[in-house]
Amino acid sequence: MLELPKLTPEHFEILVVRELRKVGLLVSELRVHRRATLPEPERGYLLELKGTVSRGPWHRRVLIACRRQDAAVGRAEIESLRDRFGEADVEAGILFATAKFDRDALAAAKDACMALLRVTDGRTAFDTSGWGTPGHYPAWLPAYCAQTIARDLLGEPRYQLLESGQADAIVNQLRTETVDPGEAPRA
């Protein structure tokens, strides 16, 4: 079995842009906002990117957090990112993480105008996606893929591979209660 390439901060940034563009979002004005090494038990790093995501007339200034870590992402990580929105002068956040998200993280993200995406290896994503026979991988399969996260009927996290044309899976989580740019007021 081939070993996965190391997910460096630079590769993580490329992955984020690729996955957002794949679903139909334009990513612009992207720059590094912050880098940090995570202490135990997370064992990894945090890369924050500041930029704009848009689709048609809709756009949002966002802080994109890239967390490579082993420990599950919880409420504290969501709230920490949300607390930096003002400092970064952004309206919303997108959190990509290599770890699973716990139930509290999903609840906190819903209240924080934040989209959550899990980064998983391409083979695991393929095996669980129903695209083809598990264990038989096409040449085009990327080393890493992103999955959207939603709650199932019991409130537990449910992961689904992010596919082309699924911008709404992210956009709907980044909408605010006020009228979004390019939208008619909601009744």
Question: Looking at the predicted structure, is the pLDDT value of residue 184 above 60?
Answer: no
Whole-model pTM: value is 0.87
Residue of 97, 95, 68, 100 lying closest to 79 (CA atoms): 95
Question: Looking at the predicted structure, is the pLDDT value of residue 179 above 50?
Answer: no
Mean per-residue pLDDT for 26-31? 96
55-110 pLDDT, tens digit per residue, is 999 999 999 999 999 999 999 999 999 999 999 999 999 999 999 999 899 889 98
Q: In what order do the strands lie in the sheet with 92-97?
A: 26-38, 44-55, 58-68, 92-97, 114-121, 144-151, 157-161
- Name the one residue in this structure whose structure tokens are 């992207």: 30
Determine the residue type at 134. P
59 SS3 class:
strand
Q: 103-111 and 75-83 are packed helices; what angle lies between their axes, rounded to 10 degrees?
A: 20
Mean per-residue pLDDT for 38-58? 91
Tell the CATH topology of 9-174.
Answer: Trna Endonuclease; Chain: A, domain 1 (3.40.1350)
What's the sign of the alpha-carbon dihedral 142, 47, 102, 169?
negative
Q: Parse the chain into domains and list their residue ranges.
A: 9-174
120-174 pLDDT, tens digit per residue, is 998 888 887 777 777 888 888 899 999 988 888 887 778 888 889 889 989 988 8
